[in-house]
Amino acid sequence: MSTFDHSSLIQNINAQLGPLRKSQSEAMQGFGQLARASLADGALSEKHKELIALAIGITQHCSGCIGFHVKALKRLGATKAELEEMLAVCVYMGGGPALMYSSEALHAWDNMV
């Protein structure tokens, strides 16, 4: 199980990306625009898109992604039951490694402010 604080992790990532945001501002702004456009409500709700994004982060073994997307899901009113169903699909498709990162996502969910 994850032993670190995902709230602190995403704060650290944001701070560490500061210089890149300055030196590569156009590219970083483009990434932000891509994220906003991709996650906007459409045929799928923003919440469902965030569940998909978290599933990809889990299967790609990205702790930072887990932190950012769990935070977004909590903001969007996702339930723990929705998270757990999505985690079951991650484990089905990703096997043991996805199970380990699913545990991390549960830890983030339970401990994120």
d(CA 87, CA 56): 11
Q: At what angle do helices 63-75 and 6-16 cross, to 10 degrees?
A: 110
Q: In this predicted structure, what is the pLDDT of residue 88? A: 99
All domains in the chain, ordered by first residue:
6-111 (1.20.1290.10)
CB neighbourhood size of 47 (10 A): 18
Q: In this predicted structure, what is the pLDDT of residue 4? A: 78
List average pLDDT for each run of 10 residues in the chain, which is 113 residues long: 82 97 98 98 99 98 97 98 99 97 97 86
Q: Are 80 and 109 in contact (CB under 8 A)?
A: yes
Q: In this predicted structure, what is the pLDDT of residue 27? A: 98
Q: In this predicted structure, what is the pLDDT of residue 2? A: 61
